[in-house]
């Protein structure tokens, strides 16, 4: 694990501020300076120059705005970002927007008032559109949702490819009528829907997609309606873990068996996804890599404010479980 400035301070028996003053040639007694320098040599610590520049220019604070803190994906992402900030001596202001444009506007004002050094943000679709013409007064790195091309740094999953992988997987196990259930607030769902349409068309399958509020209750209601029809599907793809949970609840409510009556697949490898029924087939997102890359992009943006915006697209991993028969047990496959 990388050595942090706090490790140096602990070894030297001084505060982090004292270590910072040593690096900045600030007022420190010869005795303390010697102790700190010995601690630096012993730990092999190398200062993050970008982080130091961040701290010197602003409030030593970064903002993190997530769409739904209840989502395990955003919970894990928040933990990774906070860990990386802590190692760099930065604080984090965490805000949960609940996919609300009104909340986003309020929290953006808060970030400006707090003079944050930068913001990591998973914006709503409406805010993404506004970002095409408006720039906050601090660097922005978008996560999970990509923004206007060339405008802001971003790190996202290859959502189209990931969803296409799910469609192809269901097709290979003999499912021919695959419906997709997508959230109605984010650009992520738009990308996953496009991947679904592309894959079904390429395989010569009919497509039927439904857009719902991104929560389990709405997903359950919609799937109950879909499966109450005589021509019910034999496969379902859910575009988020919350929607996937709603699909599972609907199957239980309708008395349908998975995978005998319907194959189910979705996103996010949460703990519960391997405990439900025969286990759920999912795309696992590299949330740790997403969080760490977001911080790297933020530091790089400070170092080179005029550099072209970068979009980093990462691949997910298909984890096949019993919800997509005839596969049994647990098999890992890379996303093509």
Q: Which regions of the chain carry the CATH code 3.40.50.2300?
A: 61-157+287-315, 159-285+319-324
**Burial category of 178 from C-beta neighbours within 10 Å (exposed 0-12, middle 13-18, buried 19 and up):** buried
Is the pLDDT confidence value at 329 over 70? no
CATH domain 5-54 topology:
434 Repressor (Amino-terminal Domain) (1.10.260)
User: Which of the four pLDDT bands, split at 50, 70 and 90, describes residue 330?
Assistant: very low
Question: Considering only CA atoms, which of 115, 113, 75 is closest in space to residue 94?
Answer: 75
Query: Residue 77 has what pLDDT?
Result: 96
Average pLDDT over residues 118-131: 88
For the record, the structure tokens of 276 come out as 């439900």
Superfamily, domain 61-157+287-315: Response regulator (3.40.50.2300)
CATH topology of domain 159-285+319-324: Rossmann fold (3.40.50)
Contact call for residues 77 and 290 (beta carbons, < 8 A): yes
Angle at 14 between CA 9 and CA 18, to 5 degrees: 85
Query: What would you measure as the largest C-alpha separation in the chain, in angstroms?
Result: 83
Start-end of CATH 1.10.260.40 domains in the chain: 5-54
pLDDT tens-digit readout, 257-291: 999 999 999 999 998 999 998 999 999 999 999 99
Rounded to an integer, what distance in angstroms lies between the CA atom of residue 326 and that of residue 278?
12
| Average pLDDT value over all residues in the chain | 88
Nearest Cα to 183, choosing from 98, 262, 256?
98
- Note the pTM of the prediction, 2 decimals: 0.76
Contact between 94 and 114 under an 8 Å Cβ cutoff? The reply is: no
Q: Which pLDDT score, from 0 to 100, does residue 289 have?
A: 97
């Amino acid at each position: 694990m990388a050595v942090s400035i706090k490790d140096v301070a602990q070894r030297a028996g001084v505060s982090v501020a004292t270590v910072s003053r040593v690096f900045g040639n600030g007022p420190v007694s010869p005795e303390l300076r010697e102790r700190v320098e010995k601690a630096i040599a012993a730990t092999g610590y190398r200062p993050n120059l970008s982080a130091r520049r961040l701290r010197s220019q602003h409030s030593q604070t970064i903002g993190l705005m997530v769409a739904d803190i209840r989502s395990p994906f955003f919970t894990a992402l928040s933990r990774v970002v906070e860990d990386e900030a802590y190692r760099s001596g930065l604080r984090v202001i965490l805000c949960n927007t609940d996919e609300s444009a009104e909340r986003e506007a309020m929290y953006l004002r808060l970030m400006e008032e707090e003079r944050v050094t930068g913001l990591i943000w998973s914006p709503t679709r409406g805010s993404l559109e506004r970002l095409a013409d408006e720039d906050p007064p601090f660097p922005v790195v978008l996560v999970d949702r990509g923004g206007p091309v060339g405008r802001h740094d971003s790190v996202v999953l290859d959502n189209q490819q990931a969803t296409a992988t799910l469609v192809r997987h269901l097709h290979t196990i003999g499912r021919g009528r695959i419906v997709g259930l997508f959230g109605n607030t984010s650009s992520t769902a738009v990308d996953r829907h496009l991947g679904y349409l592309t894959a079904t068309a390429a395989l010569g399958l009919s497509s039927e997609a439904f857009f719902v509020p991104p929560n389990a209750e709405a997903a359950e209601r919609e799937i109950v309606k879909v499966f109450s029809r005589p021509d019910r599907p034999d496969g379902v793809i859910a575009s988020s873990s919350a929607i996937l949970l709603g699909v599972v609840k609907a199957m239980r409510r309708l008395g349908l068996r998975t995978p005998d009556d319907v194959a189910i697949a979705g996103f996010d490898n949460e703990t519960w996804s391997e405990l439900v029924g025969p286990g759920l087939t999912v795309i696992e997102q590299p949330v740790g890599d997403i969080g760490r890359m977001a911080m790297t992009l933020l530091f790089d943006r400070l170092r080179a404010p005029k550099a072209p915006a970068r979009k980093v697209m990462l691949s997910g991993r298909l984890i096949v479980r019993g919800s997509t028969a005839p596969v049994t047990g647990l098999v890992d496959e890379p996303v093509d």
